[in-house]
Amino acid sequence: MKKPTRISLAKQITTEIESQIESGRWPVGSKIPPESHLAEQFGVSRNTMREALQSLTQSGVLASKPGDGTYVMTAGKFEANMYTRLEKAETKEIAEARLFLEKDLAILAAKNRNETDIEKIALALKKRNEKKATLEEEAKSDIEFHVEIAKAAHNSVMYELYRYMSNYIYELILEKMYQDLEKDSPDSEKLHQDLFLAIKKQDPIEAEKVASCINHF
C-alpha cells in the first residue's frame, strides 16, 4: 500500500532470514546462530539484528529462550509476519476476509448486544448517512459503524482481529473510492440500516444474511 522510500535494514534482514528458513538452510526445530554472530554476519549491530528477528518471533516463525537460543518453529513463506502479509495481500483477499469477519461479528452482535451497544451503533449509522465533505471522512464513518458492531459482539478476540484488519481496510477503501466515484451504491444505505435492525431485533440469522450482502468492493 505504502511504498517506503527506503527499506530498513531490519526488514531486509527479516526477508533474508525468511528465505534461509524456507530454503531449508535452517530446518524447523533447529537452533539458529546467536544474535551476536548473526549481527556480525549481516554486518549490522545487534540492535538491528534483534529488530529483524523480533518480527519473526512475533509472527511465530521463531521462538527464543533466554539463556538458550532462538529456534525455528515453522517454515514456508506463508508464515511471513502479519504486517508484511497484509501489505502484500491481494485486494480480493482482504475484501473476502472482511466479509467473513463482518458476517461472524454480525451474528455475535445480534446475540450479545445490549442497549448501550444499540445506541452507539445507531449513532454511528446516523453519522454514516450524513453527507461528507471528503472521501476520507466517508470511509472513516463506514468503518466506525462496523467497528461499533464489532464491539457489540462482546468477543475481544474477534474484535481485535477485525480491528487489526481495519487499519488496512481504510486505505483500501480509499483507493477503491478514488477509482469509481459512484460512492454508496443505491441500496448500500438500506443494507446498513437492515443490518442495524437485525442486530437490534437480536436476529442472528437475519443479521448474517444481510451482512453477507454488503459488498464493499
Binding mask 100-139 for DNA (x = CB under 7 A): ----------------------------------------
Q: Which residues pair with 32 in a beta bridge?
A: 70
* 8 A C-beta contact, residue 14 and residue 55: yes
The stretch near its own copies (CB under 8 A) out of 37-45, 75-83, 126-134, 173-181 is 75-83
List alpha helices for the chain, DSSP H: 9-22, 35-42, 46-58, 82-88, 91-112, 115-129, 135-152, 156-179, 188-200, 204-213
Tell me the closest approach of the beta carbon of residue 75 to DNA, in angstroms: 18
Burial of 154 (0-12, 13-18, 19+ CB in 10 A): middle
15 vs 166, beta carbon nearer its own copies: 166
* 8 A C-beta contact, residue 86 and residue 163: no
Rounded to an integer, what distance in angstroms lies between the CA atom of residue 100 and that of residue 156?
A: 17
Contacted by 157, from DNA, its own copies, none: CB < 5 to 8 Å by type: its own copies
88 vs 201, beta carbon nearer its own copies: 88
Tell me the closest approach of the beta carbon of residue 186 to its own copies, in angstroms: 29
Interface residues toward DNA, by CB under 7 A: 4-6, 8-10, 32, 34-37, 43-48, 50-51, 64-70
Interface residues toward its own copies, by CB under 8 A: 58-60, 78-79, 82-83, 85-86, 88-90, 93-94, 96-97, 100-101, 104, 107-108, 151, 155-161, 163-167
